């Protein structure tokens, strides 16, 4: 309404002036963005070891040689799939266990940090910040520390991913729980139910479909995370992938087999989870 009060006599002129000013701002913003882009690119280019333009032509060298080797040894493909299947199972296991534990931790953290539901309202900021901390720490950092302490293997990877999941899901869960209807909770409070009973019966039935849907989405993300953690010695299919890739020429057919296994897993999990999420969705209202 500012432009109307500025010149009430001429609304057309005032509106045009406003439009011009907006266009000018957008133009200036674009110029600044382009300048920043060019500037930072030159900085990055000068500090780069290889050089962006020289390397650009080699981008497809790796996929090309991987595909070439894969086609040359296509007869070994089924054997490779069978060979790496157990480590795929290990990776999925790590992801499933960490999603389960992470979701349970996230559930408790979320309820403790939601206004209107929290057991100790004054502690809400403490639980929120602890969730922020869990989210801010990358899985790989937690995993490296734990592997250093406990040695390599699936358990440190599981703990690392579970901690990160607790932070990520806790935040999402809390946002869902904030919108929960408080009437059932109040009804339960009036009969003398304790906090656990109020949450379990008053809140969970309302939010369960959303919580489950977020947890399944997180499971997909965690499969990828647990594959990556294999690179730093956490076992599973990531470990095999690193071996086949770093041992250089002659092993790329196996790397491709692993990629295909991972891809199929993600597709299958995505299909299953979207099927169940669609089933859960109509009950949400």
Partner 1 sequence: MLFEVRALTKTFGRATAVDTIAFGVERPGFIGVIGRSGAGKSTLLRMINRLTDASAGEVLFDGRDILRLRGAEKRAWQSECAMIFQQFNLVPRLDVVTNVMFGQLNKRSTLATMFNVFPRADIHRAIDILERLGIAEHAAKRAEALSGGQQQRVAIARALMQDPRMILADEPIASLDPMNAQVVMDTLRRIHDEDGRMVLCNLHTLDTARRYCDRVIGMRAGRIVFDGKPEELTTTAAREIYGADESFSESATSTAIEALETPALRAVHTAEAAV
Distance from the Cα of residue 39 to its chain's centroid:
31
161 Ramachandran zone, left/alpha/beta (phi>0; psi -120 to 50): alpha
Between residues 12 and 122, which has the closer beta carbon with respect to partner 1? 122
Ranges assigned E (strand) in the chain? none
Contact characters 153-192, partner 1, x per CB under 8 A: ------------------------------xx-xxxxxxx
* Residue 194 binds to partner 1 (criterion: CB under 8 A): yes
Three-state DSSP at 10 gives: coil
- Shortest spacing between CB 16 and partner 1, in angstroms: 47
Among 197, 246, 271, 278, binds partner 1 (CB under 8 A): 197
Q: Distance of alpha carbon 64 from its chain centroid, rounded?
A: 30
At 195, list the tokens. 């906090």
CB of 275 to partner 1, least distance (A): 22
Task: Decide if residue 205 touches partner 1 (CB under 8 A).
Answer: yes
Find the helix or strand (DSSP H, E) in which 142 lies: helix 139-150
Query: Which distant-in-sequence residues (6+ apart) come within 8 Å of 124 by Cβ?
Result: 112, 113, 114, 115, 118
Q: Which residue stretch of 9-17, 133-141, 195-203, 266-274 sits at the interface with partner 1 (rule: CB under 8 A)? A: 195-203
- By beta-carbon proximity to partner 1, the closer residue of 100 and 193 is 193
Asked if 152 touches partner 1 (CB under 8 A), the answer is: no
List 101, 201, 231, 259, residue binding partner 1 (CB under 8 A): 201
């Amino acid at each position: 309404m500012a432009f109307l009060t500025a010149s009430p006599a001429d609304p057309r002129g005032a509106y045009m002036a406003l439009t011009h000013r907006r266009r000018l701002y957008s133009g200036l913003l674009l110029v600044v963005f382009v300048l920043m882009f060019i500037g930072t690119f030159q900085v990055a280019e000068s500090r780069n070891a290889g050089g962006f333009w020289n390397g650009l032509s080699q981008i497809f060298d790796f996929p090309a040689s991987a595909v070439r080797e894969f086609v040359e040894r296509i007869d070994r493909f089924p054997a490779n799939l069978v060979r790496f299947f157990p480590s795929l199972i290990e990776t999925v296991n790590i992801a499933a266990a960490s999603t389960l534990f992470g979701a349970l931790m996230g559930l408790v953290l979320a309820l403790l940090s939601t206004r209107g539901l929290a057991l100790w309202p004054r502690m809400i900021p403490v639980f929120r910040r602890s969730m922020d901390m869990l989210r801010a720490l990358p899985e790989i950092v937690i995993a490296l520390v734990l592997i250093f302490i406990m040695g390599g293997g699936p358990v440190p990877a599981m703990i690392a991913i579970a901690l990160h999941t607790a932070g990520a899901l806790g935040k999402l869960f809390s946002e869902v729980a904030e919108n929960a209807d408080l009437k059932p909770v109040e009804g339960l409070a009036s009969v003398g139910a304790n906090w656990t009973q109020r949450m379990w019966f008053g809140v969970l039935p309302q939010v369960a479909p959303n919580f489950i849907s977020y947890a399944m989405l997180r499971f997909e993300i965690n499969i990828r995370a647990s594959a990556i953690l294999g690179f730093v010695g956490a076992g599973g299919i990531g470990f095999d992938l690193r071996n086949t890739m770093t041992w250089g020429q002659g092993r790329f057919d196996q790397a491709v087999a692993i990629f295909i296994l991972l891809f199929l897993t993600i597709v299958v999990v995505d299909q299953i989870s979207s099927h169940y999420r669609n089933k859960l969705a109509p009950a949400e209202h």
